[in-house]
Chain A
Amino acid sequence: MNETKLFKRTAISVNMLWIFVFVLVPNLMVVAISLVERDTVSFFRWVPTLANYRGLFDPIITKVFINSLEYSTVTTVLTLVIGYPFAWFLSRVSAHRRSLLLMMVIVPFWTSSLIRTYALVILMKANGVINSTLIALGLVKGPVSILYTDIAVYVGLVYSLLPFMILPLYAVLEKLDYGLIEAAHDLGASNFQTFTGVVLPLSLPGVMAGCIMVFLPSMGLFYIPDLLGGAKSMLVGNFIKNQFLTAGNWPFGSAASVFLIVIMFIMIGVYMVVMKRLNSSVIP
């Protein structure tokens, strides 16, 4: 075998093998194990069953899932509502100032979400900064409970995931040709019409990418309700974690994970369909 072939084969096979062994196989295992019976000694036995999926329709568990979907949906909407104008204004800042401002969004993007969640605990706890400030200002008499409520979970999720919404939005808005907006105005379109007819459709890929990057992880971030939420705040992630680490029920936990995988494929599927439509409509 000559050098070129050796190099080529090594480069390809190491990568393919790694992804195969540590991504494809484990994910297929999740699907397989979700379809077999539980075993208290060896975690599962190879007896096919749909009981794990039926178990997900138990009213108590369905409630957890619906709650979690609600958390994720509201978080996605909130990050979009806050993030879209932010990304738009950021893309309009003059180029030499933008570099630093963009950097200031990238830093929270990469900072550990656990550390950022912990920072919120300091702010929101009963004798925390927010309460001390409110009391000092005389706005409230005693500490208000913020921590261990639903609101704290929402603040935590939005705080953790907002950069994941902003960056894809910024990426498309920054490339947007401003001439198109001027053209729309010249042709008599109002601001609102320009937004719905020109800016929004062109930024749709960013909106969708942002929604995927917020919605999917928001169901798994189990430490956010753990640290900020009350007894009833639970995400699908908390449920899966409990099944694997407390209940030792691999098949049931796997079925819940398959639910997340299915949502992921649906979202990616919708994204690809919209992209295809968009490409064929913009470029004739």
Chain B
Amino acid sequence: MLGNNVKLGSVLLIYFLTNKFNLVPMQGNFTQNDLLKYLYAETDIVDAFMIEQALSSNYELKEDYTLFNNSKELLNEVKLSPSKATMDFIFAYSKKSLNFEQQNY
């Protein structure tokens, strides 16, 4: 928790400095793998902030991100559910195993 507070403080400090003094945002050398981790929320708070800064000013990076995000959005189109019969079976199995345990306790 202390680590997260330190990181958050760093992010806020960077944001304050870039905005107060019109500093050019640090761009870093972000790879497509970094973008993927950002896309799937696997980056820490500092990296996420840095990538967002870079995306706002790096056209190529933004293009790559858009490509990934569009494909990700399309994957969201597929969403399936199991049948009620299957769900009923599982719940019945669970109830039966619970009853068996209680009887044998």
Asked if A and B bind, the verdict is no
* Chain A interfacial positions (CB closer than 8 Å to B): none
* Chain B interfacial positions (CB closer than 8 Å to A): none
